[in-house]
Structure 1
Amino acid sequence: MKELENLVKINQLKREPPDAKEFAGMLRAGDTKLKDALIDGLSEDSQFSLSYGAAHAFSLAALRWHGYRSDSRYLVFQCLQHSLGLDKAKWRVLDKCHNVRNLAEYEGHLDVNPQLLKELISITKEIQTLVKALEPIE
């Protein structure tokens, strides 16, 4: 993956062999968060936080499957076009969600747009499906 290797060269990604247990743990975490995000009656704030966490867990699992690691949530989402072939427009929605999450986390301001939440949940389900379709790590 030329694009991911270019990120290694500029110290944005690190090469690290995939680990089957770590991968499985990330999938479990993503599954749990996404399942919880869909609980009826949950506030939009909680749904957003859980869906965002699930999207990140699945996205990081995809990156780890390819043998890379990043400390940057933004970059994990940006790499989805290479790690899973996700359309640019979709990872850009995740980027917008990342910005909303940062405002909530660091400035205490969470204003969840219902349409953005709907898109986040839809994209997270798509990422979940794509990651689960990857070959098992040996």
Structure 2
Amino acid sequence: MGSNESLENLLHSGALKSEPPDRKECEGLMRSATDRLRDASSPQLSFASRFDLAYNAAHAIALTALRLHGYRSDKRYLVFQCLIHTAGLSKLQVRLFALCHERRNLAEYEGYMDDDESLLAQLLSSTQEMLTRIEKALAGWST
């Protein structure tokens, strides 16, 4: 099943909404992601702050990738699951973002945050890679 077909199936199921991409929105999401990713690397911040910044940077980039394909989702986890189709990421990378989503939810809704520096390093690295890919896609996108 091709990328467009997979995304179309999600659209028909109601999981995604069709919405033309908006350059200003995408550029704003990418600016926010870049700032957050830079700040997430600051050793002066607590682990929880760095993780939150890195996770939200990843989400903003993943949402930009989805928006560039003409879709929107209200579900954070789905934005990450679509990365195979919207950013050409591997299943392993998508699983990493899914794990970080679960950890974020534990922290946000149950107050539990395990300081896992290895996970944060992987999140930062994968988010940086995704940032580079989507910056190129955005630069090559014509309105």
Q: TM-score w.r.t. structure 1 length?
A: 0.97
| Distance in 1 of aligned mates of 2:142 and 2:118 | 36
**For residues 80-128 of structure 1, what are the alpha-carbon distances to aligned partners after superposition, in whole Å with 9 as ceiling and x for unaligned?**
0000110000010000000000001011111131111111000100110
Equivalent of 1:73, from 62, 68, 76?
Answer: 76
Equivalent of 1:100, from 95, 99, 103?
Answer: 103
2:54 matched residue in structure 1: 51
Over 3 Å counting, the alpha-carbon distance change for 1:57 and 1:124 in structure 2 is same
The DSSP-based 3-state class of the residue aligned with 1:102 is helix
| Distance in 1 of aligned mates of 2:78 and 2:62 | 10
Q: Which amino acid aligns with 1:5?
A: E
| Distance in 2 of aligned mates of 1:99 and 1:25 | 26
| Distance in 1 of aligned mates of 2:120 and 2:48 | 9
How big is the alpha-carbon RMSD for the aligned residues of Structure 1 and Structure 2?
0.8
The answer to whether the Cα contact below 8 Å between 1:18 and 1:137 also exists between their aligned partners in 2 is: no
Equivalent of 1:109, from 112, 124, 133?
Answer: 112
Q: Percent identity?
A: 49
Equivalent of 2:28, from 1, 13, 25?
Answer: 25
Cα offset for 1:137? 4.2
- Deviant stretches of 4+, over 3 Å: none
The answer to whether the Cα contact below 8 Å between 1:48 and 1:112 also exists between their aligned partners in 2 is: no
Mapped pair 1:136 → 2:137: no
